[in-house]
Amino acid sequence: MWPIGQAAQRRGRAGAAQPEGPERFSAPGFVALEPVFSSQVQSGHFVLGINAVGLQVRRPNTGELVIDTLFAFDPDSTTLRLALPIGMLKPVEPFAMRLALQDDTLLLFAGTKTLQLRQGPPGTNAVDSIPVIYEGPGKDIAQLTIEPGDTVLTWGDSTQFDVEALDSGGARVPRFYVSWSASDTTAGRFDAFGKLRAPYTRGVIRLSALAINGVTAAAHVTFIPRPTLLLLAGTDSAPAPVGQAVPLVARVVAADGLGVLGLPVRFRAVTPGGAVRDTVVISDSLGRAATELVVGDTLGSYAYDVRVDTLPPVRRTLRALDRVIRDEVEAKRAARAPQGEATAPRSAAAEKSGPGPVALTLTLGAIMLAGIGVIIALRYLAGAP
C-alpha cells in the first residue's frame, strides 16, 4: 500500500541503479499488466473507489526490489496505459509482480504473480494478467440501498446516486466497495462516481450496485422530456354546490404529444374559502394527475391554479350555487337533452312546480345594505302555478 501523496517520489524509483561488474544490465524489458477481478466485480462496468494503481517488481531469487511505484488513476477510466522499463540481467528473466489498487491510501485489491520477461522495446511482452482479491473493508454487508430509488430524470439533466450499506445487525457500514452497472450503457451516461446524465430520448434503465460479498441493490430510472403543455379536463366556470368537492384531472404533455411521467403537479386554491384535497400529485404514465377542488360555503366564483415545472399556471374557476338551484340547473339540462339520451331525475323543487318542462332563468345580484353585502338569488320558473 502506497500513499498517493508519495506518487511523484515513487515514480523516481521505477528502476534500480545499474550494478557494477558482470551483472551490469544488458538491455531493458517492458512489462504490460491488467488486473483480473472476481465475478462480484466484473459484473460492474462502472467501478467506484479506485483512484491509484501501485506496482512492485522484485527478482524472486534475491528479493531485490526493482520497481516500487504508484500511479494516479481516474476512477472514470477503464484502462491505464504505461510502459515501465525494467533493467534486465538476461535476455529472459523472471520477476515477481505485485499489483495493488487503492482508494487514496486505502488498499482495495491486490494480487501477485511471477512473470517471464523478454528484453526488447514496448510490445515485446504481451499483456499479462494478475488476479486480484479484495482486501478492503465492508465484507460483512447484509443490505444495500440505492438513493434515490426509482426516479425520473429530465432529458439533459443529471443526478447523483449513492449507496448505503448495513451489516447483519442493522448498523451502518461506513466504508465499503461496490460495483455499478446499468442495463443499457448507451441510454444514459453513468460515471464511476455514481452520476447519471439523461439522454435526449424516452426510456427506462435499471441501475445495479453489487457489494464484494454478492449483496445487490437496484433502482430504475425513467428518462422524460420537458413538459410543454398543461391541460385541464372539463369546462371552466362549471356550477358546483356550495361546500362540495369537484374532481379535476390535469394532464402534463410533452412536445411529442405524449404524457410525461413523474412530475409533481401543484394545485392551489386562489379564492379564500376554497380548498384542494391534494395539493401535490405526481403525474402517472399518461401524464395525468387528479385531485378534488372544494368550493366554499358561500355563493360566488372560486378560482384555482394548477402548475407544473416552469410552465405558466392554468386557472380553473367554479361557480358555487346552493343545492336547490344546482338541482334545477341539472333538470334544465336534462329537459334539453335529445330524446333517447339518459336524463337526470327531476328534483323535488321541480316536482312541486307542476307538470311539464321547466324553463329556468337564474339571476344573481348583489345589494349593499347598511354596509353589509347580501347576495340574492332570484328564480323564475315558467309555467309554474
CATH code at position 313 = 2.60.40.10
Residues 215 and 317 in one domain: no
**Contact indicator for 53, 144 with CB cutoff of 8 Å:** no
Q: Are residues 126 and 16 in the same domain?
A: yes
Rg (CA), the chain: 37
- Supply the CATH number for residue 195's domain: 2.60.40.1080
Q: What is the mean pLDDT of residues 283-292?
A: 97
Residues 81, 65 within the same domain: yes
In DSSP terms, 209 is beta-bridged to 180, 217
Domain boundary among 81, 114, 134: 134
Average of pLDDT values for 300-322? Answer: 94
Q: How far apart are the C-alpha atoms of 128 and 289, rounded to whole Å?
A: 58
Task: Name 170's Cβ contacts closer than 8 Å, sequence gap at least 6.
Answer: none
Domain co-membership, 50 together with 165 = no
Q: What CATH number is associated with residue 107?
A: 2.60.40
Tell me: pLDDT of 129 over 90. Answer: no
196/93 same-domain check: no
367: Cβ contacts below 8 Å, ≥ 6 apart: 374, 376
Reading the block at residue 8, the C-alpha cell is 511523484
Mean pLDDT, residues 4-33: 51
Q: Give the helix/strand (H/E) hosting 323.
A: helix 323-336
* Short-list 361, 255, 376, 249, CA closest to 304: 249
Q: How many domains does the chain have?
A: 4
Phi then psi dihedrals of residue 352, to 5 deg = -70, -25
Q: Assess whether 85 and 162 both reside in one domain.
A: no
Q: Both 15 and 126 in a single domain?
A: yes
What's the length of the chain? 385
Q: How many CB atoms lie within 10 A of CB 35?
A: 18
Q: Is the dihedral of CA 344, 349, 352, 356 positive or negative?
A: negative
Lowest mean pLDDT among 206-215, 310-319, 366-375: 366-375
Average pLDDT over residues 76-84: 71
244 and 308 assigned to the same domain: yes
64: nearest Cα among 99, 29, 20, 94: 94
- Same domain? For 47 and 66 the reply is yes
- Clarify whether residues 85 and 99 are in a common domain: yes
Q: Are residues 10 and 103 in the same domain?
A: yes
Per residue in 96-126, pLDDT (tens digit) is 999 999 988 889 899 999 999 999 998 898 8
pTM attached to this predicted model: 0.62
User: pLDDT for 187-242, tens place per residue?
Assistant: 666 776 778 889 999 999 998 888 888 899 999 999 999 999 999 999 999 999 89
Question: Which among 224, 249, 274 is the end of a domain?
Answer: 224
Domain that holds residue 157: 141-224
